[in-house]
Amino acid sequence: MSADKHHDRDEHGVEDHDRGLSLDLPTILSRRRLLGLLGGVAGAATLAGCATQGGDSASPSTSTSTSAAAAPSASASSAAVTAGTEIPEETSGPFPGDGSNGVNVLAQSGIVRGDIRSSFGTGSATAEGVPLTVKLTVYDTSGTVQPLSGAAVYLWHCDREGQYSLYAQNIRNENYLRGVQETDTAGGVTFTSIFPAAYDGRWPHIHFEVYPSLAKATTASDKLRTSQLALPEEVCTLVYATTGYEQSRSNLARTSLASDMVFRDGYSLQLGTVTGDVDRGMTVSLNVPV
């Protein structure tokens, strides 16, 4: 487990939310890819194959009615964890809310929570969209691979309109879709949220930061890792066929995992496994080795 120095962040876009490439334009670190160690991860390779837009497989045809549409079943969880292999360090984007670019939501009472759909404190709005449960399992890979209990994860993402609370002009006073959880004895955290939009210029994703403890997270100190979770194409296609995600459909069609500015150098360790359906909700899971 190592604490890599986080890169500098670009601050443009804070006042003018254009929902484009400016959301994640900060310099991206060179990412440590140990793909040679992943030869045994057949499940991850299969999932990556079905999730690469314009790659190994095409998007499934989706009817206008998606009430019974279900996410593809997954026989394996996210990429297997191997000693010495760490999830890549990524940009936090210009809307982290961790004090590094303006407001610091981590210092606010109420940020430690599992259900992040509604704002807390002085905020009153609730984000709408297809229900999504996010399950992350954090591992210490510095020696023998072990679940990292007692750590903390700060997770955030855009809403159904592709906007980030605290920053977008119309939701500057809201703080929904942001929360912190402490990892349990199995290294796990669970967040109840909604499926994020695809905004112009980026592949659908979820941001997160890993801290060594809850106390460190709420003071935004000694960060272990900043990274992003990529959502599979087949699942995005199903969700974006539902009401409210109309703009996401066209945005998704204009990008791909292979061309995305964050994931284009490899995403096998960041591609989540999704189960469920658009009516009852979906669950995305990802192993997070640090």
pLDDT tens digits along 148-197:
999 999 999 999 999 999 999 999 999 999 999 999 999 999 999 999 99
pLDDT band at residue 69, thresholds of 50, 70 and 90?
A: low
At 83 the pLDDT is 83
At 230 the pLDDT is 98
Cβ pair 179, 211 in contact under 8 A: no
Q: What is the rounded CA–CA span in Å between residue 268 and residue 78?
A: 8
Region 124-134: mean pLDDT is 98
Tell me: the pLDDT tens digits for 215-237? Answer: 999 999 999 999 999 999 999 99
At 82 the pLDDT is 85
At 272 the pLDDT is 98
Look at 9 and 269; give whichever has higher pLDDT: 269
Region 210-214: mean pLDDT is 98
Tell whether pTM > 0.85. Answer: no
Lowest mean pLDDT among 75-89, 91-105, 139-153, 161-175: 75-89
At 21 the pLDDT is 41
Region 257-269: mean pLDDT is 97
Hey, what are 99's tokens? Answer: 């004090």
Is the pLDDT score of 206 beyond 90?
Answer: yes
Q: What is the rounded CA–CA span in Å between residue 18 and residue 139?
A: 36
Mean pLDDT score of the chain: 81
Please give the span between the terminal C-alpha atoms of the chain, in angstroms, as a whole number: 5
The one-letter amino acid code at 171 reads: I
96 torsion bin: left (phi>0), alpha (psi -120 to 50), beta (else) = alpha
pLDDT band at residue 54, thresholds of 50, 70 and 90?
A: very low
Is the pLDDT score of 205 beyond 60?
Answer: yes
- Token look-up 């704002």 returns 119
pLDDT band at residue 7, thresholds of 50, 70 and 90?
A: very low
At 84 the pLDDT is 81
Quick one: what percent of the chain has pLDDT higher than 70? Answer: 74
